[in-house]
Chains A and B, each alone.
Chain A
Amino acid sequence: MSSFTEENYGSQSLTQDFESPFPNTTITNFVGEDSEVIEGQVSYSNARLDSPFRSVYELKEEEGTIDPEAEEAMEFLNELYDEEFDEAVYELVSEANELYQDRFESEYGDPLVQKMQAVRMLEQHFTPLVTEAELFLDTMANEFGQRNPSSLDEAEIESFIDRYEPQNSLSPSFENFLGSFLKKAGGFVKKGINLAGQLVLKPILQKLKEVIPSMIKKVMQYGVNNIPAALRPVADQFAKRFLNQEFEEETTTEEDATPDISGIQREFDGQIANLLFTKEAVEQELAIAEYVKESQQPITHDPLSELDRARAQFVTQLGELREGEDPIPLVQNFIPAILPVLKLGMSLVGGRIKFINWFAPWVAKLIKKFIGPEHAPALSQAMVDVGLRLIHLEATPENEVYAARSAVAATLEDTVRQIAALPEYILDNQELLEGYALEAFEQAATVNLPPVLPERVYEARPELRETTGIKGTWVMQPLQGAKRYKKCTRIYETTITPHMARVVKTFCDVPLAEFLQDRLGLSPGRAIKARVHLYEAIPGTLLSQICKSERHVPGLGTIAAWTHLHPLTPEAAGMVFGQPGLGREVSEKYLDHQPTTAVGQRLYYLEIPEARPQMVPVAGGAPKARRTRQLNIRFDFPRDQIKIYLFLSEAVAQSIAVKLRQKVSIGMVMPHLSAIYEPRLKKILTGKHHSHMKTIHGKVPPKGSRGRILSRLPQAVREWVIKNLIEWLGKNLTTYLQQKSPDFITATENPADGVTLKIVFTNPPGLAHLRKILRGESVNIQEIQAKGGMPDANIQVTPGFHRG
């Protein structure tokens, strides 16, 4: 917790001048002598994991004894978790959001009322999906419910699911979701027949039916009220109850801009596990009732709409300021709406009023040069000069004035956001704070305001401008109404050479070249002319929402286009259009596959006239976009296995098949393959990319099972695992491709998109030690490092995409 308590804003002041090109201000200290210093909690990771020299490693002292049933439940939850389900949920959330915005959202009227009306309409919209899911469970109950579970086997259940056809035709997003739901229900029934004491399926399938509408309702709520994840805690009650522990949240200064949709799945999985593992009927019913009740809670908390409203008011009032009038009251009214959408800003709660009282006059002096009748026209003109009309051909003079005032609002918001993210020791020290606050303002102004300072200032302080040459700025979008994202006023024309495309990476470390070839059908050997559109996430931004709103950009205009956005890192910005200053560094987790962005994260879209998005037909369904490479890893402790699913895109698979047909040396094939899996293996096993890892272990709660648990292993252990897995993979794939190349070739002849190599290592050396570490038992690291030998490996190649 921060020490921003009421007492912090004491009256003793310290005056100090900071050199800034922005209007000089006198900065007043507000931290009193009697500052309360709250003991910072020493995080577990800091306290226990940072020493690579520890030879004996213990993850955590566990209270109590091992509970086999609890562990089985956790293993089941970890196994049940399915990334495809998240993808399907994201589609539904985006669809709900689109419907809400198109039909209900209005700057007039009460947002909460609009959202409640939208949820009612969405209930009707999603009814066919709920009905289909319920019909499926009924059919399944009829098929298997009356039979003795011991007479059933998993293959029979899988076959039933494969054969199942929806009773009614569904939209592609519903179809996709239903497919993931069927898979999950299959996992539920398979576990049901294998559980000790074998359950009678029919009643529990009926109970599962009861929770489906609630789960879909949560999807709707996420869709209409996409408040950031930090403000929407996921109730992992089941895991908490069974493991009697909670997985700590990641500590990061960045904030998710969008809801963590994986929470919907985790909660639903918890309900499934509840039906299987909770013995007492009353307890089971209570858990269901709680889940259903929670989903029926009306939306009462809507900080994003509040922020929209306050921002609109601030912008309007800026336009009403008379010459020389003080903007402090306007700022004082605006700031309270910014704080609630900040995860870290919540820590300012204690000293909120004092903070505002200090910040408002301080920042008012800084913004005075841009507002009021005498300065505002210059700012509007500057907005036009940096290309506002390039992205808004239809912009009226009123729009330009409004955009200029919105830029001032955005500067304030970003400044507050940066201050709120400052570490405690800075917040506690007024001298430091004032310096950092000024820096925050400068950074925010650099981004949100057009270059308004004299050229000599930029020569002396080049960091106050993001670009060299062409001038641009970031504008909140849409110009009118609730703001959803920012767009750069400049659209960069560029030529992407094959070399650039190979070096620049998009999400999941996929080379841009592969995206251009497999997703857009562009030839890898040719230079490509493109127009680059730049976007930035603000609180509440959904990637699908950006794409939907950008109707005038060829290739965008639909929610499904979100997979065409790429992360705008400084490297990408530098390589693709020569402006590294426009890129943004973000944590690795935001460069992963999941559609969650950080507030302030930047993205780009390539408008390429020659691009033709590549699709693959799906039997009985809507075509799907072709995929790029992907590596997924499963640490399956109950089965003593490490499973690796290496998906090769169609282009890559075919190029390898050509070499195999030509019977070239395996030395010509493996470097190509290892260049795909090695870097990904390293990235995933260091715990940086969560979406591609699953740990099935009785002591790992669902939140941690996706990669995050690995970041808790000692570095030496992680390195040992990475080194060995790479070696095992290399050796076994070499042998496989030498001996079984016809299998690989045959798989590539299937019309499915790409091929998946499934590599299963059974009883790999060191896995038993990892199990102990995750269980919290003491392990001698040197003992692990001394482990040698090659595990049994089984490799299979299958057409299409699989991730286990």
Chain B
Amino acid sequence: MRISKSLQGSIVVEDTAALRLQLARQVSHWAMAASRLGDLDDLAAASVWEGLEKYTGIVLRQNLSAAVERLQREAATLQSQLNGARTPNEINQVQRQLLEFRQHYLRTETLLDFYGDALSTRTSPNLAALLRACDVLARRSMSQLLDHLGKTTPPVLTYLDKGLGASILKAGLRLWDGKTESLTAAIKITRHNLYRPTALIHEAGHQVAQFIGWSDELATLLDRELSVVSPQVAGMWASWSSEIAADTFAFAHTGYAAVSGLHTVIDGGEAIAFRYLPGDPHPIGYLRLLLGIEMCRLFFGRGPWDDLERTWRQELNLARARPGVRELLQQSLPLLPRIAELTLVAPMRAFRGDSLAMLIDPRRVSPEALAKLEQQGGAALYTSHHWVWTEPLRLLALTGYLAATQSDLALVVLQQQRDWMLRLGETLQVA
């Protein structure tokens, strides 16, 4: 069909107007959607927000509000660009920006949903108090180190989830929208470990290690020190440095409780214990537990960990490990005492020339030190707000130690653990 020139012009104009109309509708739609995200009380019920410690709540709200405000500013810009767009090119430009905005919106929504879901695990006052206690434990473990180094410790938001192992979304990372920096360390604690939360300290160790550059330095150290035995073995251990740092951090704070807690998680049979996945930052489970036991031995001498080692070795037959892996395991076993030394007592630049053990002395959680703590605090250790606030990490070490060594009292100890964690959570002023 032939269209006259003037008619062509009018069709172009009509098309542009139609496109503009559609765009305007969509821009309004998404701008309204972005505006709705601004009400953080829609993200989680007021009672859920009230389950947070006050300061953590303020920081989290600021963090999320900043993400939403960024999106809303973008929506406002888009709207004004649309208002100013006259030519087809300008309209097309707005259309492209709308597509980008949609992506930004969806990423911001993912960000909000993550925190909304995390917050919503604080379903009851008791669970909220327990998770606040977890926040305190993780944050305290970090601040004991970071305060020495003159660094600020971020707030922690712990949430509950299914599964075996814990995980962390570190503070300081860019979140899903690619622009907002996380101001809190969000740590997932699994349900089975809620009353034995040494895994929290492991995750807090990840935060600290990343923050001060400990993992990289440890990797270099392990690579250098172990390469005399085998460059391959050295490289393998170096590649595990981030997880080793986190394990070491948990051990320094909670001693044998961290090792027995790790055992519970990785004791899934030979298939799991001997599994080696190149690129996986986790050490082979078999070695990982034995390294923890070496740490106990290095600082505490002989103890119940000797029995754990014996049963671990009896239960898991190295001969059944995959060829190639078996050799790596065999080459690594004699290195474990040295690796324990390197992680705990070697001076590091990350610690300003000190070793980890100089800043967080594992002897504070030796069985003798814990017995002394028990003697000093008596029953008040678990009931006094003063004790649970000032010594929560050693209490975690103590109850973890008791649960690991007195299986007949395990239920009583777990109940005790629950009670003092509740008390710790209740000590804090809520949002």
Q: Are A650 and B53 in contact (CB-based, < 8 A)?
A: no
Q: Using A612-B429, A615-B428 as known contacts, say yes or no to A753 and B376 having CB atoms under 8 A apart.
A: no
Which residues of B lie under 8 Å from residue A610 when comparing CB positions? 143
Pick the contact of B383 from A609, A653, A661, A751 — CB < 8 Å?
A751
In the bound assembly, the distance between CA atoms of A736 and B343 in angstroms comes to: 51
The answer, among A612, A616, A658, for a CB contact under 8 Å with B53, is: A612
When the two chains form their complex, are residues B380 and A626 in contact, meaning their CB atoms are under 8 A apart? no
Task: Tell me if A203 is interfacial: C-beta within 8 Å of chain B.
Answer: no
A750 CB-CB contact with B under 8 Å: yes
Taking the closest CB of chain B, its distance from the CB of A562, in whole angstroms, is 15
Residue of B nearest to A625 (CB): B429
Report how far A661 CA is from B378 CA in the complex, Å.
Answer: 8
B387 — nearest CB in chain A belongs to which residue? A654
Is A351 positioned at the interface, with any CB of B under 8 Å from its CB? no
Contact A658 B376 (CB under 8 A): yes
CB B384 to nearest CB in A, in angstroms, measures 6
Q: Would A657 and B427 count as touching, CB distance under 8 A?
A: no
**Chain B minimum-CB-distance residue to A521:** B389
CA distance A751 to B143 in the complex (A): 27
Which residues of chain A are within 8 angstroms of B349 by Cβ–Cβ distance?
none
User: Which B residues, 384 to 414, have Cβ-Cβ distances below 8 Å to chain A?
Assistant: 384-387, 389-390
A614 touching B385 by the CB < 8 A rule?
yes
Chain A hits for B389, CB < 8 A: 521, 614
A662 is an interface residue with CB less than 8 A from chain B: yes
Q: List 30 A-B contacts (CB under 8 A).
A: A526-B147, A554-B58, A609-B55, A609-B152, A612-B53, A613-B54, A614-B385, A614-B389, A614-B427, A614-B428, A614-B429, A615-B428, A615-B429, A616-B385, A617-B426, A623-B426, A623-B430, A626-B385, A650-B384, A651-B390, A653-B386, A654-B380, A654-B384, A658-B377, A661-B378, A662-B375, A748-B384, A749-B384, A751-B384, A751-B385
Could you say which of B380, B390, B426 has the most chain A C-beta atoms within 10 Å of its C-beta?
Answer: B380
Instruction: Check B58 against A745 for contact (C-beta < 8 Å).
Output: no
Write out the residue numbers on chain A whose beta carbons fall within 8 Å of the beta carbon of B170.
Answer: none
In the A-B complex, list the 6 residue pairs whose CB atoms are closest, starting with the nearest: A749-B379, A650-B386, A613-B429, A749-B380, A617-B426, A751-B383
Contacts of A662 in B (CB 8 A): 375-376
Chain A interface (Cβ < 8 Å from any Cβ of B): 518, 521, 523, 526, 554, 609-610, 612-617, 623, 626, 650-651, 653-654, 657-658, 661-662, 745, 748-751, 753
Contact of B423 with A by CB under 8 A: yes
Q: In the complex the two chains form, is A612's CB within 8 Å of B378's CB?
A: no
Contact between A612 and B428, CB atoms less than 8 A apart: yes
Contact with A along B28-60 (1 / 0, CB 8 A): 000000000000000000000000011100100
Contact residues in A for B383 (Cβ distance below 8 Å): 749-751
Residues of A with C-beta under 8 A to B152: 609
Using a CB-CB cutoff of 8 Å, which residues 352-379 of chain B contact chain A?
375-379
Q: What is the bound-complex CA distance between A175 and B430, given in angstroms?
A: 19
Quick one: CB contact mask for B49-74 with A, threshold 8 Å, 1 for yes? 00001110010000000000000000
Complex Cα spacing A613 to B380, Å: 21
B379: nearest residue on chain A (CB-CB)? A749
Contacts of B376 in A (CB 8 A): 658, 661-662
Whether A748 pairs with B380 at a CB distance below 8 angstroms is: yes
- How far, in whole Å, are A753 and B376 apart by their CA atoms in the complex? 19
Kindly list chain B residues whose C-beta atoms are within 8 Å of the C-beta of A653. Answer: 386
Closest CB-CB distance, B308 to chain A, in whole Å?
32
Contact between chains at A751 and B423 (CB < 8 Å): yes
Q: Which residues of B contact A613 (CB under 8 A)?
A: 54, 428-429
Whether the Cβ atoms of B378 and A749 lie closer than 8 Å is yes
Give the secondary structure class of B's interface: helix
Q: How far is the CA of A521 from the CA of B429 in the complex (A)?
A: 11
Interface pair A650/B377, CB less than 8 Å apart: no
User: In the complex, A554→B62 CA distance in Å?
Assistant: 13
Residues of B in contact (CB 8 Å), total: 26
Q: Known pairs A654-B377, A749-B378, A749-B380. 15 more at Cβ < 8 A?
A: A521-B427, A609-B55, A612-B53, A613-B429, A615-B426, A626-B385, A650-B384, A654-B384, A657-B380, A658-B376, A661-B376, A662-B376, A745-B378, A745-B380, A753-B385
Contacts of A609 in B (CB 8 A): 55, 152
Chain B residues near A661 (CB-CB < 8 A): 375-376, 378
A749: chain B residues at CB < 8 Å are 378-380, 383-384
Cross-chain contact A612 with B55 (CB below 8 angstroms): yes
In Å, the complex CA distance between A6 and B49 comes to: 65
A657–B381 CA distance with the chains assembled, in angstroms? 11
Given the known interface contacts A612-B53, A749-B378, the answer about A654 and B386 at a Cβ–Cβ threshold of 8 Å is yes
When C-beta atoms are compared, the residue in chain B nearest to A650 turns out to be B386
State in angstroms the CA–CA spacing of A474 and B89 once bound together.
Answer: 58
Which residues on the B side are within 8 Å of A750 (C-beta)? Answer: 383
Minimum CB–CB distance from A578 to chain B (whole Å) comes to 22
Q: Contact check, A651 vs B386: say whether CB atoms are below 8 A apart.
A: yes
The reply to whether A615 and B427 contact each other, CB–CB distance below 8 Å, is: yes
Q: Report chain B residues within 8 Å CB of A751.
A: 383-385, 423
Looking at B53, B375, B384, B426, the one whose CB has the most chain A CB atoms below 10 A away is B384
Asked whether A657 lies within 8 Å of B423 as measured between CB atoms, the reply is no
Write the nearest CB–CB distance from A14 to chain B, whole angstroms.
62
Distance (Å) between the CB of A741 and the closest chain B CB?
Answer: 12
Q: Which residues of A contact B423 (CB under 8 A)?
A: 751
The residue on A at minimum CB distance from B380 is: A749
Tell me the minimal C-beta distance from A610 to chain B in angstroms: 8
How far in angstroms is the closest Cβ of chain B from A158? 26
Residue numbers in A under 8 Å from B385 (CB-CB) = 614, 616, 626, 650, 751, 753
- CA–CA, A751 and B427, complex, Å: 11
Q: Say how far B327's CB is from chain A's closest CB, in angstroms.
A: 49
**How many Å lie between the Cα of A706 and that of B53 in the bound state?**
39
In the bound complex, what is the Cα–Cα distance between A239 and B427 (angstroms)?
44
Alpha-carbon gap, A650 to B384, bound state (A): 8
Query: Looking across the interface, which residue of chain A has its beta carbon closest to that of B125?
Result: A617
User: With A and B bound together, what is the CA distance between A554 and B387 in angstroms?
Assistant: 26
Question: How many whole Å from A330's CB to the nearest CB in chain B?
Answer: 44
Across-interface contacts of A615 in B (CB, < 8 A) = 426-429
B54, B386, B387: most-surrounded residue (chain A CB, <10 A): B386
Residues of A within 8 A of B378 (CB): 657, 661, 745, 749
Rounded to whole angstroms, the CA-CA distance of A745 and B383 in the bound complex is 12
Chain B residues within an 8 Å CB radius of A526:
147
- Alpha-carbon distance between A740 and B242 when the two chains are bound, in angstroms: 54
Question: Cα distance A653–B428 when bound, in Å?
Answer: 20
Q: How far is the CA of A745 from the CA of B427 in the complex (A)?
A: 21
Closest to B58 in A: A554
Chain A residues near B384: list those with CB within 8 A.
Answer: 650, 654, 748-749, 751
A329–B366 CA distance with the chains assembled, in angstroms: 80
Contacts of A626 in B (CB 8 A): 385
Collect the chain B residues with CB atoms within 8 Å of residue A654's CB: 377, 380, 384, 386-387
A554 to B427 Cα, complex, angstroms: 19
Chain A residue nearest to B376 in the complex (CB): A658
A753-B423 Cα distance, complex, nearest whole Å: 12
CA A614 to CA B152, docked complex, whole Å: 21
Nearest A residue to B383 via CB reads A751
Q: How far is the CA of A609 from the CA of B55 in the complex (A)?
A: 9
Residue ID in chain A nearest B375 by CB atoms: A661
Residues of A within 8 A of B390 (CB): 523, 651
Kindly report which residue of chain B lies nearest to residue A626, judged by CB atoms. B385
Q: Would you give the shortest CB distance from B390 to chain A, in whole angstroms?
A: 7
Q: Most chain-B Cβ atoms within 10 A of its Cβ — which of A612, A661, A745, A750?
A: A612
A753 to B384, CA, bound (A): 8
Cα A566 to Cα B378 with chains together (Å) = 35
**In whole angstroms, how far apart are the Cα atoms of A559 and B32 in the complex?**
36
Min CB gap B149→A, angstroms = 14
Closest to B389 in A: A521
Bound-complex Cα distance A518 to B389 (A): 10
A199 to chain B, nearest CB (A): 44
List of B residues within 8 angstroms of A518 by Cβ: 386
Closest to A526 in B: B147
> What residues of chain A lie closer than 8 Å to B387, measured between beta carbons?
654
Q: Which of A609, A745, A748, A750 has the most CB of B within 10 A?
A: A748
